[in-house]
Structure formats: C-alpha cells, structure tokens
Amino acid sequence: MRKLGTAILLALAPSAAVMALAPSAAVADTMPQMDFANPLTFDQVGWMVVILVVLYLLLSRWGLPEIGKVLENRAAVIAKDLAAARAAKIEADKAVAALNATIAQARAVAQAEVAKAVTDAKAKAAAEAATLAASLEGKLAAAEAQIATARAAALAAIKPVAAEAASTILLKLTGTQPAQDQLASRLDAALAARKVA
C-alpha cells in the first residue's frame, strides 16, 4: 500500500516541477490559470502540494492498510471456503461412489433372487406337472379298465339277446329253427370280431 502512495506522489512531482519550470509567458498565453507570475497561482499550487502530501500520509498510514487488511481477510475467507468446498466435493464423490456400489450390489442380489425364484418355480411346476400326469395316467388306466369291464359285461349281456333275436329272425325268414350250437359259434365269432374292432 505504501508503494501505491509513493507511486502517486512520484507521478505528481514531475508535473509540479514541469509547471514550475515552464516559462510563465508561454503558459500564460495559452492558459491564464497557469501563470506563475501571478501570486494566487503559486499559492494554489502550494496548497495543492500540501493537500496531496496530507492525502498521501492519510492514505499510506491509515486508509490503505485498512483496505489491505480487508483484502487479506477476504482472501483468507475465500481460501477457507474453497478448501471446505473441495473437502465437501471429495466427501460427496465418496458418498456417490458408495451409493453406486450399494445399488449395484443390491441389483445383483435382486437379480440372483429373481433367477432363483424363477428356477424354483419352474422346478415346482415341473414336479406338479409330473405328479398330475402320473395321476392322470393312473385315472386313465383305471377308466380304460372300467370301460373294458363294462364292454365285456355288455357283450356278455348281448349274447343271449343276440342269440334269441337271431333265432327269431331265422325262424321268420326260413321257417325253421337254427341249431343252437351252430348259432352260438357264429355269435361268438361275431362278438370276437367286435372286440377286435
């Protein structure tokens, strides 16, 4: 800050020296307020130098150091805030990485559980299908056995009726009663053919 005040004073000193050395007649022709032959102009320049020196002293001893302190404090606060922000960003990045890892792990566990549940469901469905198929096969075999028994019983019940009907038809057509053993053998052959069919 003192360098700034010194620089201002050094910048003003040559201009004051140039004004003092300039011929008053040349300056007076162009700028009457710079006529140093006039005692008021010299007093004004003297007071300007006094005011600048006082201003320089005030600024260099009190104003500029205060401004420097404010700027230093501000720089320290900004540096502290930047450091805190960097630390917070590092922590946030770590938290995001941990969150992503947890999500990936949870997704993998969920996919494994879903795959296991699907496999278990398929195995259970296959076992139930096999049990149901075996049960249906047993019921089908029992139903076929019942059908065969009922068919055999129906054929056995048809034999006397068929023998009587055939005997009655032959009697009406031919007028003679057929031989019972020949009729029985022919009925057995016809019923056997029906069983095969």
Which residues does 5 contact at the CB level (< 8 Å), separation at least 6?
56, 59, 60, 64
CB 73 within 8 A of CB 60: no
pTM, two decimal places: 0.40
CA-to-CA separations, 77 to 32, 63, 64, 71, 145, in angstroms, rounded: 54, 21, 20, 10, 99
pLDDT digits (tens, 9 = 90+) for 118-147: 999 999 999 999 999 999 999 999 999 989
Q: How far apart (Å, rounded) are the C-alpha atoms in residues 193 and 155?
A: 12
pLDDT at 27: 47
Q: How far apart (Å, rounded) are the C-alpha atoms in residues 74 and 64?
A: 15
pLDDT at 75: 96
pLDDT digits (tens, 9 = 90+) for 48-93: 999 999 999 999 999 899 999 999 999 999 999 999 999 999 999 9
CB 20 within 8 A of CB 35: no
Q: Is the pLDDT of residue 46 over 80?
A: yes
Please state, as a whole number, how many other Cβ atoms lie within 10 Å of the Cβ of residue 38.
14
Mapped onto helix, strand or coil, the DSSP state of residue 38 is coil
pLDDT digits (tens, 9 = 90+) for 143-179: 999 898 887 787 777 777 777 777 788 777 777 777 7
Place 19 in a pLDDT band, splitting at 50, 70 and 90.
low
CA-to-CA separations, 48 to 8, 64, 118, in angstroms, rounded: 14, 21, 97
| Radius of gyration, alpha carbons of the chain | 65
Q: How far apart (Å, rounded) are the C-alpha atoms in residues 169 and 177?
A: 10
Q: Which among 42, 55, 43 is positioned nearest to 12, based on CA atoms?
A: 55
